[in-house]
Structure 1
Amino acid sequence: MFPLRIGDALLMSAQTGCFPATPTLRARRLWRDVRTVRRCWRRPWNGPAFDQGKVAMNGSSGRTAPADGVVLNLAKVGPFQLGRLRVDPPSRELLRDDGARQLLEPRVMQVLVALAQANGAVVGRDTLVQSCWEGRVVGDSAVNRAILLLRRAAAEIGEGAFRIDTVARVGYRLLRDKDGEAEPPAGDDSHVEADRQLPRRQFLGGGLIAAAMACAGYAFWTGRKPPAPLSPETQAMLDQASVLAQQTTVDGTSQAIGILRKVVEIAPGSAEAWGMLANNYAVAAQHWSPKLERQMRLRAEAAMSRAREIEPENGFAFAAEAMLLPRMGAELQLERVLRRGLSHNPGSPILLHHLAWTMLNVGRCREAADMIGPVVEQGRPSPNKFFAQITMLWAAGRLEEAEQALETASSLFTSHYAIWFTRFYLLMYSGRPADALSQSADVENWPSGIDRPNIALIEQVARAMLSRRTDDIDRAIRANNAAAREGTGYCENAIQFASALGGIDEAFGLAQAYYFGRGFEIADVRFAADQRAYSQRKNRRLHILFLPSTGALRADGRFALLARDLGLEEYWRESRTRPDYLE
């Protein structure tokens, strides 16, 4: 069979014990096998013919996707079922079997229909723009917003009846609940082009060619056998560790490390597992007790080295390398490490996430907001991703989009501490302190582990913003300045509160203490000691200097001196960039 002859030729030198000793000999062996492949191609293929231009190479037959350039007409699409949901495109309604209903915006319903009609196939962003926006020039935010609203509908009224996955650098696909699978929506077939079913022998042959080429390429240029795939059980452990790591808590990181140590015992040839372990050790070195820093750093470096022995350009290893650098004074080095990692791992969520925070830390807020969008869309939603997106959109002046992301995050993680506090601050700083106080009055939805005194501190600030009375402002600033000495998290808040309330001198005094230890010392612990999270002096957070809450600081002449002392001026000069606030 033709494809198998090619597969045999390409795998010829990838078998155990068949690697020539030197690169020169490997190159000669490669040329020999290339000639073999060329001879195979010259032999006639007697299998069934097919039109490659019309075959959906998605690994499954019978899937359809919207044709480019044809507008989707909701009036011509019949109702269809998604689990417990009945979707009625003409009326734009989602109706659940218990009577609950939700009305979708026209564009959002068009996107839902386009994805549902693809029946599990991937639909590209360009195709969605052509089908749902009539090919108009729209920003990525328009598509992102439609996807976010659909994901929210899936989680709320849909109760998991479907989900929308992002396929990096390709598009989106809708996956149905297995218990509620249904046929794709019928109706306006003018915008759907049916895929032809690829004959089974031909499809298997194509898969073997791809696998053979991948194996042969890895073997020739590394001189090693390609690593064996993980078993389903081990892969599940790796996925579980990823979810735990995204909790961004000491307990989550600790549990992720324990699972990953077990994974590398089971699969010592997994570069991904070693890289993830290195990254979690690096997180621990930066955020755990300073007493544990050296131990965690050494473990991170060892795991990072092991990952790179297996896969020299491993993305998680680059992330770990960046995480081990100080947050202050090494911004340019940090950026270069991350961009080098992205050159080998385009679109890597973890590298983009780190780079987005780096951009925010140096005042390049618009770039940060643009980078974080794809990170949120990939993989499982997490509070950590949403917190980053909301913060960066807000810093970039995109308040409406920040609020849309916050609405989605709140529907999924109502009482998570990062989302709860972010919502409170966004309301307070955007002129709605009364709404912020209403949120804090809902005691039942307070984040777990947060006591009443912590809530009282931020409520004082909201009341001062609401009343604008001098005595309320002075009382709020004094209370938060006192708390600032107890932890870095309190001090970050106090800097922003003082700036927003007009206490510019107090804000600069707090900044000097926070970043340089001038005036008084700030404890390294972030908030409560039992939370076991720390920010050492070298890892203090710069992004707070570029948020809307500290706009008064940036408008003051003393800010240029602060930026110089922090090394930001040197970064801007050497990187030949300017922060957004100077443009």
Structure 2
Amino acid sequence: MLQQSADRPRRVQLAAEAPFQLGGWSVHPGLRQISRGSESRTLEPRVMQVLVALAQAQGGIVGRDALVDCCWDGRIVGENAINRVISLLRAVGSETGAFEIETITKVGYRLKRAAATPVVQPAPQEPLGAGQAWPRRAAIVGIGATLAGGTAYLIKPDIFSSRRREAERHYRAGVDSERLGEAAAMQALAHYQAAVRADPNYAPAWGAVARALVSLRSGDDRQSEQIARQVQQASRRALQLDPDNADALLALVMIAPSYRNWINLDKLARQALARRPDLSLVQLTLALSRADTGRFRDAVALMDKARRRQPLLPGMTGRFAWLLWQIGRPAEAARIFEWAYRTWPEHSMIWVYRMMYLSFSGQTGEALRMAERNNSRGALGGPLPPTVAADCARALAAGANEADRNKAVDSIIAARRDGDIGSQYSIMYLSALGNVEAAFEQTYDYLLGRRDTLTGERQPLSPHADRETCFLFASQTAAMRADPRFPKLTSAIGLDDYWRATGLPSNLTHFGTP
């Protein structure tokens, strides 16, 4: 039996919610199913949570803020996220006849129960809505961003040929597989490929093939190049059939190399946003590119704009707070870091960015407590070992001596030799600790290629090598920017060409770095 709630329902925990009835249909929150006899529908977790919250109100009005509190745990949620869930829920109610969702303008929503014997229209039995995974620089962008592209195809009446029905069946199976996470990515791709074989004119499947391929890209440069060609082929076919296909537009942006390719990436992103302004992940990808070229203020503005459409993903939230701090907005940065760490305490990139922020801003005690907590519950993984982070925090603290700094430098170099620390993080620490020589040497290896042990020549990087360069413009690398070698480095990697082509000054004063 549902507990009646006043204006603000309690937090919805699906596993703990008891089944209830809606218009002759049984709702099983723990199973995420609504069923009647042999018919059933499986809903997305968030869609089921909202349905339960509205049902708890017993015909009362539930405000949008109350929905956020009880279904999103009070997290920052964009208007589009709520609208999408309400739209999907209305589709369920329309197809089953079990209920209606009434909008009370500027107030909230109310669930209206139907009679116990509704007229039921045929509908697919797979979950409604598409959860889509988009990793670009996967640790930053993350997995699980949800887009609108393709959703309409899942709720249309079945009016197509048998080949189209077969394509849709595989397409839905692929969406379901993706919801299982990265481990099921190959299975999802197989379903999408089966869909395009069944109906070569089904645009959503071609876009989904491109999306799934992007998610399979690894750090292997040769494999990345092969996947990029396949993504381009699938995306072009999708756009031939549907010029506004969101998956295809986004895939083309996300598969494009960024390092040394900033001008082309800007062009691709602007083209995609011209067709689909709702593609928040394109805005975020463009923001990363702007940060990599020293345009921190532009990057923050783009991230802030994307955040209004949908909440930032964990890794991107960490980067957003980091950039806010870099452009002189420490109070906002601190607030977001604290919220993100409470919300995603196990996320490696949240941990990395907050750890570095605390260490570089002199909050040594909390940095060391973070490292200790990490060690006590097992390593998070990621590009910054907690032991190295702790050594660096002590070396950067007020009153640290030369022995502390030497220990930290040795710890960084050892971790870099073993491949346990990300280059961009080790470089910032080395520069801040005063070892500019080691910082430049690691920068050369990272951005220009490691030296061959026999010839001494640097091995050229693949055109699809993914390299971040935003660390070059951080406050922690100010000593590197004051070094005569820095302009030679920016020229060698093509940043000077980018700045000239975009009409920006090369003295960094425009970019908002401290």
TM-score (structure 1 length as normaliser)? 0.56
What does residue range 136-535 of structure 1 map to in structure 2 within 5 Å?
165-168=77-80, 231=124, 233=126, 235-236=128-129, 238-239=130-131, 241=133, 247-248=142-143, 252-253=181-182, 255-263=184-192, 265=194, 271-285=203-217, 287-290=218-221, 292-379=223-310, 382-443=313-374, 446=377, 448-450=379-381, 454-466=385-397, 467-487=399-419, 489-517=421-449
Distance 1:193 1:514, change over 3 A: closer
Partner of 1:144 in structure 2? none
Checking the alignment, whether the CA contact within 8 Å between 2:347 and 2:380 is kept in structure 1 is: no
Partner of 2:496 in structure 1? 569
Question: Identity of paired residues, percent?
Answer: 24
Unmatched runs of 5 consecutive residues or more in structure 2: 12-56, 91-101, 109-122, 145-177, 454-460
Among 468, 477, 481, the alignment partner of 1:541 is 468
Q: Which amino acid aligns with 1:397?
A: G
Deviation at 1:358, TM superposition (A): 0.7
Q: Which amino acid aligns with 1:331?
A: W
Checking the alignment, whether the CA contact within 8 Å between 2:135 and 2:215 is kept in structure 1 is: no
Please tell me whether Structure 1 or Structure 2 has the larger radius of gyration of its CA atoms: 1
Q: Deviations over 1:43-102 (max 9, x none)?
A: xxxxxxxxxxxxxxxxxxxxxxxxxxxxxxxxxxxx9631138xxxxxxxxxxxxxxxxx
Deviation at 1:352, TM superposition (A): 0.4
Deviation at 1:571, TM superposition (A): 0.2
Deviation at 1:280, TM superposition (A): 4.0
Q: Which amino acid aligns with 1:84?
A: R
Structure 2 SS opposite 1:494: helix
Deviation at 1:440, TM superposition (A): 1.1
Structure 1 distance, partners of 2:235, 2:221, is: 21
Checking the alignment, whether the CA contact within 8 Å between 1:420 and 1:447 is kept in structure 2 is: no
Checking the alignment, whether the CA contact within 8 Å between 2:352 and 2:384 is kept in structure 1 is: no
Distance 1:406 1:83, change over 3 A: same
Q: Which amino acid aligns with 1:375?
A: A
Structure 2 distance, partners of 1:447, 1:371, is: 35
Structure 1 SS opposite 2:259: coil
Checking the alignment, whether the CA contact within 8 Å between 1:363 and 1:579 is kept in structure 2 is: no
Distance 1:538 1:312, change over 3 A: same
Distance 1:279 1:430, change over 3 A: farther
Deviation at 1:447, TM superposition (A): 6.4
Structure 2 distance, partners of 1:560, 1:329, is: 16
Structure 1 distance, partners of 2:181, 2:285, is: 19
Q: Does 1:84 align with 2:10?
A: yes
Structure 2 distance, partners of 1:165, 1:243, is: 21
Structure 1 distance, partners of 2:363, 2:143, is: 29
Q: Which amino acid aligns with 2:8?
A: L
Q: Deviations over 1:12-67 (max 9, x none)?
A: xxxxxxxxxxxxxxxxxxxxxxxxxxxxxxxxxxxxxxxxxxxxxxxxxxxxxxxx
Distance 1:266 1:317, change over 3 A: closer
Checking the alignment, whether the CA contact within 8 Å between 2:499 and 2:505 is kept in structure 1 is: yes
Distance 1:371 1:543, change over 3 A: same
Structure 1 SS opposite 2:256: coil
Structure 1 distance, partners of 2:291, 2:422, is: 20
Deviation at 1:507, TM superposition (A): 1.1
Q: Deviations over 1:447-499 (max 9, x none)?
A: 65539992211211111112421121122112212322343853222211111
Distance 1:321 1:163, change over 3 A: closer
Partner of 2:170 in structure 1? none
Structure number with the bigger relative contact order (C-alpha 8 A, sep ≥ 6) is 1
Structure 1 distance, partners of 2:405, 2:418, is: 21
Distance 1:335 1:241, change over 3 A: closer
Deviation at 1:261, TM superposition (A): 4.1
Unmatched runs of 5 consecutive residues or more in structure 1: 1-78, 86-115, 123-149, 186-191, 196-229, 522-533
Aligned CA-pair RMSD: 4.5
Structure 2 SS opposite 1:450: coil
Structure 2 distance, partners of 1:451, 1:539, is: 17
Distance 1:443 1:168, change over 3 A: closer
Distance 1:293 1:243, change over 3 A: closer
Structure 2 distance, partners of 1:448, 1:404, is: 25
Q: Which amino acid aligns with 1:259?
A: A
Distance 1:478 1:345, change over 3 A: same
Structure 2 distance, partners of 1:452, 1:562, is: 24
Checking the alignment, whether the CA contact within 8 Å between 1:499 and 1:507 is kept in structure 2 is: yes
Distance 1:392 1:194, change over 3 A: closer
Q: Deviations over 1:95-114 (max 9, x none)?
A: xxxxxxxxxxxxxxxxxxxx
Structure 2 distance, partners of 1:451, 1:324, is: 22
Q: Deviations over 1:177-234 (max 9, x none)?
A: 99xxxx999xxxxxx9899xxxxxxxxxxxxxxxxxxxxxxxxxxxxxxxxxx95626
Deviation at 1:545, TM superposition (A): 1.3
Structure 1 SS opposite 2:78: strand
Distance 1:576 1:359, change over 3 A: same
Distance 1:519 1:471, change over 3 A: farther
Distance 1:82 1:325, change over 3 A: same
Deviation at 1:380, TM superposition (A): 6.1
Distance 1:500 1:194, change over 3 A: closer
The count of residues paired between Structure 1 and Structure 2 equals 387
